[in-house]
Chain A
Amino acid sequence: MTEIDRDRGRYLIGAGLSALLTILAFAAVALGLSRGVALGIIGVTAVAQVIVQLRCFLHIDFSRQKREDLQLILFSLLLLAIMAGGTLWILANLAQRMM
């Protein structure tokens, strides 16, 4: 198997997994599962799909050379969590105290 074949395989696996996870998430809603269960499935499949695509499409992994990217992404996610999470916390708290 050449390097190119391996790479192509990786793209195809990524697309297949992504499709599968997407179908799972949509099915959870289409089948009318209870809201809690559905949200759980949606959340898990979304995170899983992000990881799959980072791995298979964007070629991010734990290897030495990619570590810089991974660090950048993790740092960004930290700040994203602070900003988006902070916003939700603050606005929910304000809404609860003021409406």
Chain B
Amino acid sequence: MRRLAVVLLVVLAAHPALAQGFLTPEGPVAAAQREHLIRVTMVTMIAVLPVLIGVPLILWRYRRGGRGAYRPGFDFSAPLEIAMWGVPAAIIVLLGTWLWQSTEALDPYEPLGTDPLQVQVIGLNWKWLFLYPDQGIASIGTLAIPAGRPVRLQLTTDTVMQSFMVPALAGQIYAMPGMVSDLNLMASRVGTLTGANTQFNGTGFAGQQVDVQVMTPDDWTAWVQGGTTAPSLDAARYARLGVAGTTAQALQALSLPDSRMHLTAPGLFASVVARYHDGAPLADRDQPGAPGFQPESTP
């Protein structure tokens, strides 16, 4: 079984799609998660294999007319009881310890190093908007990051609840309106990865994907530079993004050449979060992503 599991993992890993999954990690967090998965699977095998192997053997040996001796009164054995409770308990103690350590170590709120790149993420129906406050740019549906540098994502949504996930880097975290959650990640190699929303939010849900472009620091700087000369993300453009639609539809509606925009209002993220806390009711027409949303009416 252990061999089989390894073989299975290798076969799966050779599969092209796995470039997207965390079994072929592109960063330290996903690598640790994969490590943890393998450890847990292997250790549980101690408790599981006896069942997988034992059941067929017992069924054969003790079948009616089979060789096994019949002991209809056998209903207790102290050593067996001890093993039955003890072995799983011991395994759980071990797994619990690992769970504790790894959960503390991989708290998504903990930065992965000093001076992380700050990216603010706003979930919209059905696209992700990334803001780079320090660089003064924004980008729809594309998250570009430099390889080797820790990244700190701060997430919220300007519509219903969503969950931002990049499997090859760090997995996922929920994003909710009026709230900010964190996800720290880092990519070790250059490449293109896929990210997604995993929390169902309507008909465009399946298409709410993200291109995660991991670049060399130089390429990344150039990419950022290009963004500062792109059309700017003003209030009207932002409001237009709130209309439910895919990334492609949004880019077309704003007639953008590529995903980048110039971020002129550094407080955009904070104001999106604050919108839900100002004590006034929000009419349907002011709720991005809702069927009744009207971009013109948003202040």
Contacts and interface: CB of A to CB of B under 8 A. Distances in A.
A98 B179 CA distance: 5
A97 B176 contact: no
A99 interface: yes
Interface string B172-185: 00001011110000
Contacts, number: 9
Nearest to B155: A98
Contacts of B181: 97-98
A43 B180 CA distance: 35
Contacts of B179: 98-99
A52 B121 CA distance: 55
B109 interface: yes
A88 B181 CA distance: 19
Interface string A66-99: 0000000000000000000000000000000111
B122 to A, nearest CB: 15
Interface string B150-190: 00000000000000000000000000101111000000000
Interface string A3-44: 000000000000000000000000000000000000000000
The number of chain B residues touching the other chain, given as a range, is under 10
Contacts of A97: 109, 181
A98 B109 contact: no
A99 B181 CA distance: 9
A98 B182 CA distance: 9
Nearest to B182: A97
Contacts of A98: 176, 179-181
A99 B180 CA distance: 6
B190 to A, nearest CB: 33
A99 B179 CA distance: 5
Nearest to B273: A99
Contacts of B176: 98
Interface string B139-152: 00000000000000
A97 B173 CA distance: 13
A20 B180 CA distance: 48
Interface string B106-122: 00010000000000000
Given A98-B176, A98-B180, A99-B179, 6 more contacts: A97-B109, A97-B181, A98-B179, A98-B181, A99-B178, A99-B180
9 contacts: A97-B109, A97-B181, A98-B176, A98-B179, A98-B180, A98-B181, A99-B178, A99-B179, A99-B180
